[in-house]
């Protein structure tokens, strides 16, 4: 197995992971879109029934209607706040999944470009260095060292020479 083949298989795997992360994010968003109205209605319904049962069992018949209205409004703000917090958590989770997918896509592109540079350069280190400078895109999402040292590139080229038949 050559180094180019190994890089290309890792790039293929990274593209697969990116597709998985994006699919999970989309499924979470679709599930949230369909379940959030139902969850909101059920929560408000349970809070409303809790208000009625608490008022009847405690025998608070002497409360003014304004006080009851204020407490009911206060109790309706709580479930809505909780639902908004849950929705925010879902969106943050989807953002992180999409960010992970972006990193995987960038990794796939970089690995494919390095494999192409190895194929084009042959045994010439200067040509490999020029190929890497031309083909490998700059980092956008994934933080790696800005430039590899010549010693590291030379070691990579020597490894490629050893692995080639």
H-state helical runs in the chain: 3-58, 65-121, 125-135, 150-163
50 or 83: which leads in pLDDT:
83
In this prediction, residue 91 carries a pLDDT of 87
Residue 162 has pLDDT above 60, yes or no: yes
Could you tell me the two tokens for 101? Answer: 């997918």
Residue 62 has pLDDT above 50, yes or no: no
Q: Distance from first CA to last CA of the chain, Å, rounded?
A: 9
Q: In which domain, by residue range, is 159 found?
A: 3-163
Number of domains in the chain: 1
Mean pLDDT of the chain, nearest integer? 75
Residue 85 has pLDDT above 50, yes or no: yes
Global confidence as pTM:
0.58
Residue 134 has pLDDT above 90, yes or no: no
Residue 52 has pLDDT above 90, yes or no: no
pLDDT 10s digits, 98-130: 888 888 888 888 888 888 888 888 777 788 888
In this prediction, residue 61 carries a pLDDT of 45
What is the rounded radius of gyration, in angstroms, for the C-alpha atoms of the chain? 29
Quick count: other Cβ atoms within 10 Å of Cβ 18? 20
């Amino acid at each position: 197995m050559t180094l180019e083949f190994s890089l290309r298989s890792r790039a293929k795997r990274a593209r697969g992971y990116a597709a998985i992360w994006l699919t999970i994010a989309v499924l979470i968003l679709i599930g949230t879109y369909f379940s959030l109205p139902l969850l909101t209605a059920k929560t408000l319904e349970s809070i409303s029934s809790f208000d009625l049962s608490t008022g009847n069992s405690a025998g608070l018949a002497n409360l003014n209607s304004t006080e009851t209205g204020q407490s009911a409004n206060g109790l309706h703000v709580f479930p809505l706040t909780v639902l908004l917090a849950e929705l925010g958590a879902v969106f943050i989770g989807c953002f992180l999944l999409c960010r992970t997918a972006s990193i995987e896509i960038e990794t796939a592109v970089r690995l494919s470009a390095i494999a192409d540079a190895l194929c084009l350069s042959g045994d010439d280190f200067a040509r490999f260095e020029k190929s890497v400078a031309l083909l490998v895109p700059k980092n956008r999402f994934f933080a790696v060292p800005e430039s590899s040292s010549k010693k590291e590139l030379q070691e990579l080229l020597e490894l490629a020479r050893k692995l080639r038949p």
